[in-house]
Amino acid sequence: MAGARKTSKEDASPRRARAHVHNRDREEDILLAARAVFEERGFDAASVAEIARRSRVAEGTIYLYSATKRELLQKVVTRWYEGLIAEIERGLAACDGVEAKLRYFAERHFRLHAEDAAIGRLTVRELRSVPDYPASSLHELNRRYTRLFTGIVRAGVASGEIHAGVRPDIARDMFFGALEHLGMGGTGRARRGDGALAFFALFWRAIASGKPTGDNGRARG
């Protein structure tokens, strides 16, 4: 009898492992479908039924992963934000010098709003505007993202490459606010990559101390 019970447990372990992988793949399919529907329809017009159809699951299955449509949107945005932060961390690690890091950040943040405008609008309108946003995990992700920028500014002040009087919080608001406007609201040339570069040239002149750097702000190949 004891041996039979042991065999039963051993047989169950692979089944649990396969079920775990299956559930993870199913959740990935749901999140991909949800992002597509939210971006195409907007939050109000998006339906859980359509998300279920696109992810090839029953509508009730969606609610096993997210209790509400808004919670599902938050999961979509969280997945996107985590990927963005990881990408920017890798990009910054490939840059030498404060100027190169900030230039890379400007170009990438601009593309975020120019290329991912739909999910950016959903984030601002549907998630940042709610009363509990300051206590949310999404707000913490936003803080992680902007701290990447303020960390570079503080390092630049410490090295003398940025004026000692530059406040990282004010520089942060100028940087992200201007790039968001260019990416989401600009027209013509301002909405292409040269708009981000033109902004960065102006921004860098405003904060740079003029102290030369050994690497001349080049990105590593």
Give dist(CA 24, CA 18) in Å, integer. Answer: 10
Asked if the structure places residue 59 within a domain, the reply is yes
Q: Return the CATH number at 115.
A: 1.10.357.10
Radius of gyration of the chain (CA): 23
Please, are residues 43 and 122 in contact by the beta-carbon 8 Å criterion? Answer: yes
56 shares its domain with 154: no
Q: Within 10 A of 121 (CB to CB), how many other CB atoms are there?
A: 15
Domain limit, last residue, from 19, 38, 65 = 65
Q: What is the pLDDT of residues 140-185, one digit of tens each?
A: 999 999 999 999 999 999 999 999 999 999 999 999 999 988 877 6
123 shares its domain with 140: yes
Domain limit, last residue, from 65, 81, 100 = 65
39 shares its domain with 86: no
170 shares its domain with 109: yes
pLDDT of residue 10: 52
pLDDT of residue 9: 52
Asked if the structure places residue 40 within a domain, the reply is yes
Query: Has this prediction a pTM greater than 0.85?
Result: no
Give dist(CA 18, CA 82) in Å, integer. Answer: 26
94 shares its domain with 128: yes
pLDDT of residue 65: 93
Residue 110: give the domain boundaries: 69-211
pLDDT of residue 200: 96
Tally of domains within the chain: 2
Of residues 89 and 184, more confidence is placed in 89
- In this structure, which amino acid lies at residue 124? V
Q: What is the pLDDT of residues 15-28, one digit of tens each?
A: 443 344 457 789 99
Q: Within 10 A of 120 (CB to CB), how many other CB atoms are there?
A: 18
Asked if the structure places residue 218 within a domain, the reply is no
Residue 119 has pLDDT above 80, yes or no: yes
